[in-house]
């Protein structure tokens, strides 16, 4: 009886969590009138015209162009975030250096500071360097481990690996960098995948920072292109077309999470156990 109640609760909770996504997909096939007249996700009939119209945006560029722009930001940012976070976390976890505790405390303080507080100083700095309306302000900071939470997570993983691994690698002739690449990185692969997934999803969904840093419609990522399909009054646009665009925009995020789900979940749970 206890297991039955548990499974029932989990089923209801899962259905409540998934229903908004199911409704979003179903609404993309509905007419505008049906969207507002029924909360049931299944449409009366399937109409694929919204997807044909969605690919052609209200700008001179189609969604394919904005996907390319989006991945021009996501791919280098994800690679930079993973590499820099691993290196910085390795330094904190395995080496002693002056003011180590002070710098780690600064890292924790940076985690607690909302990004909205720093966005204006960053804009002024990039504007002074004449790099506004380029992708550099959106990607380059990741090369310096700007996301303190990633470093903190990796430090806990590194601390969970016995130092005997380092000693054995050193006896076999590995230097500091080879020990990291060939011995420690394979041990923290789930955490690295988790960081990559988080960076991908957060960048894919980011709206505010590209809005401030990018001015040319030609360089907009998908999140800004989607906003262009909605006018300032919220009226006079085709709701199902915008919903279809949203569904298309969700495909990369869902695909990445599905492919990396096993490593992602094991990375989160292992972090909780070793931390």
pLDDT on residue 248: 86
pLDDT on residue 76: 95
pLDDT on residue 264: 59
Q: Which residues of the chain have pLDDT under 70?
A: 230-237, 262-275
To 10 degrees, the CA torsion angle through 178, 180, 185, 191? -160
Task: Report the residue count for the chain.
Answer: 275
pLDDT on residue 213: 93
Look over the chain and give the mean of its residue pLDDT values, rounded to a whole number. 84
pLDDT on residue 72: 94
pLDDT on residue 56: 80
178 and 89 in contact (C-beta within 8 Å)?
no
pLDDT on residue 67: 92
36 and 42 in contact (C-beta within 8 Å)?
no
pLDDT on residue 267: 52
- CATH architecture group of domain 59-274: Orthogonal Bundle (1.10)
pLDDT, one tens digit per residue, over 27-46 is: 888 877 777 777 777 877 77
CATH 1.10.3720.10 in the chain is located at 59-274
pLDDT on residue 274: 44
């Amino acid at each position: 009886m206890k297991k039955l109640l548990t499974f029932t609760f989990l089923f209801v909770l899962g259905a409540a969590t998934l229903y908004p996504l199911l409704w979003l997909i179903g609404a993309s096939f509905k007419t505008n009138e049906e969207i507002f007249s029924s909360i049931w996700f299944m449409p009366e009939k399937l109409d694929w015209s919204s997807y044909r119209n969605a690919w052609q945006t209200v700008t001179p560029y189609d969604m394919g162009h904005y996907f390319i722009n989006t991945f021009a930001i996501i791919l280098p940012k994800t690679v930079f975030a993973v590499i820099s976070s691993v290196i910085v976390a390795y330094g904190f976890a395995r080496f002693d250096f002056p003011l180590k505790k002070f710098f780690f405390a600064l890292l924790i303080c940076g985690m607690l500071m909302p990004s909205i507080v720093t966005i204006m100083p960053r804009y002024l700095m990039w504007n002074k360097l004449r790099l506004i309306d380029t992708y550099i302000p959106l990607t380059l900071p990741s090369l310096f481990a700007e996301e303190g939470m990633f470093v903190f997570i990796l430090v806990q993983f590194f601390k969970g690996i016995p130092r005997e691994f380092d000693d054995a690698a050193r006896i076999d002739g590995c230097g500091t960098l080879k020990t990291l690449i060939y011995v420690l990185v394979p041990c923290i692969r789930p955490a690295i995948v988790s960081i990559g997934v988080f960076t991908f999803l957060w960048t894919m969904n980011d709206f505010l920072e590209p809005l401030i840093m990018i001015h040319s419609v030609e360089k907009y990522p998908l999140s800004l292109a989607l906003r262009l399909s909605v006018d300032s009054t919220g009226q006079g646009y085709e709701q199902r077309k915008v919903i279809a665009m949203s569904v298309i925009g969700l495909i990369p995020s869902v695909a990445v999470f599905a492919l990396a789900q096993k490593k992602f979940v094991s990375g989160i749970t292992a972090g909780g156990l070793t931390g």
